[in-house]
Amino acid sequence: MKLTVLKLLWSRNGCSVARTVLSRSFLVLAVATLIYWLLCGVFCGFGISGLIVWPAAAVLLVALSLWISDKPPFRRLRTHRWLRRTVAVFLAAVMLYCAVVLGLIVSGMTATPPQNADYIIVLGAKVNGERPSLALHWRIQRAYEYLSQNPGTRAILSGGKGQGESISEAESMYRELTALGIAPSRLILEDKSTSTEENIRYSYAKMPEGE
């Protein structure tokens, strides 16, 4: 009897400790995610495509922390099993979505592009006045490296003029790349787009038919 009681107490205490550790771990991850989002926004611009994933992930992590620790409003779900399961499925689905989006972003960042392409599209990012932001600077450098290694490739520089920008993102990229030694004849400006969807659509329109 005593052994059974001890096992029960150990099981309950172990579960409680595990919940506390897991709950606090999710909170730490949420704070780290928000800090990363703020740093990206400050140094690279909050207009970067996909940046919204990070605050969304932080909110999800906080919700998971409250769920695991059985804090309000999730405590009320104890008496409604069907609702508790529905919320669990919803949180799991959102978490899976964020993980897939993050995986696609990371895989795209690390992918090796094919060599000797006819065209590459360089997407714009925030311009501080006339100076490229850190995010745009990195994209310009990657474009310069590719164009230097593939002399037959032309680049479509895509990005319009946004709030706080004295020149278009396309013009900023053009100036930087020509200053690095890339021939102007290899650069095509697309300076009307205001979103990633327009970046792609307007850039394809700049290509000759059949390319």
Q: pLDDT at position 48, please?
A: 65
5-57 tens-digit pLDDT = 444 443 455 567 767 777 888 888 889 888 988 887 777 667 666 678 788 88
Q: pLDDT at position 104, please?
A: 78
Q: Give the burial class of 116: count Cβ atoms within 10 A of its Cβ; 0-12 exposed, 13-18 middle, 19 or more buried.
A: exposed
Q: pLDDT at position 15, please?
A: 60
**What is the pLDDT confidence band of residue 171, given thresholds at 50, 70 and 90?**
very high
**What is the pLDDT confidence band of residue 209, given thresholds at 50, 70 and 90?**
low
Q: pLDDT at position 33, please?
A: 86
Say which residue, 167 or 87, is predicted with more confidence: 167
* Long-range pairs of 191-198 with CB within 8 A, sequence gap ≥ 24: 191/159, 191/160, 191/161, 192/160, 193/124, 193/158, 193/159, 193/160, 194/160, 194/162, 196/49, 196/123, 198/160
**What is the pLDDT confidence band of residue 94, given thresholds at 50, 70 and 90?**
confident
**Taking residues 54-72, what's their average pLDDT?**
80
Is 50 exceeded by the pLDDT of residue 199?
Answer: yes
In terms of Cα–Cα distance, which of 208, 196, 146 is closest to 169?
Answer: 196
| Cross-strand partners of 165 | 129
Q: pLDDT at position 6, please?
A: 41
Q: pLDDT at position 14, please?
A: 53
Q: pLDDT at position 8, please?
A: 42
Is 90 exceeded by the pLDDT of residue 100?
Answer: no
Query: Can you state the angle between helices 2-44 and 53-68, rounded to 10 degrees?
Result: 160
Distances in Å between the Cα of 13 and the Cα atoms of 7, 40, 166, 202 are 10, 41, 61, 60
Where does the chain have alpha helices with state H? 2-44, 53-68, 81-110, 134-149, 169-179, 196-206
Say which residue, 67 or 34, is predicted with more confidence: 34
In terms of Cα–Cα distance, which of 208, 129, 207, 206 is closest to 175?
Answer: 129
Tokens representing 135 are: 């995010």
139-167 tens-digit pLDDT = 999 999 999 999 999 999 999 998 888 99
Collapsing DSSP states into helix, strand and coil, what is residue 206? helix
Phi, psi of 119 (to 5 degrees): -140, 150
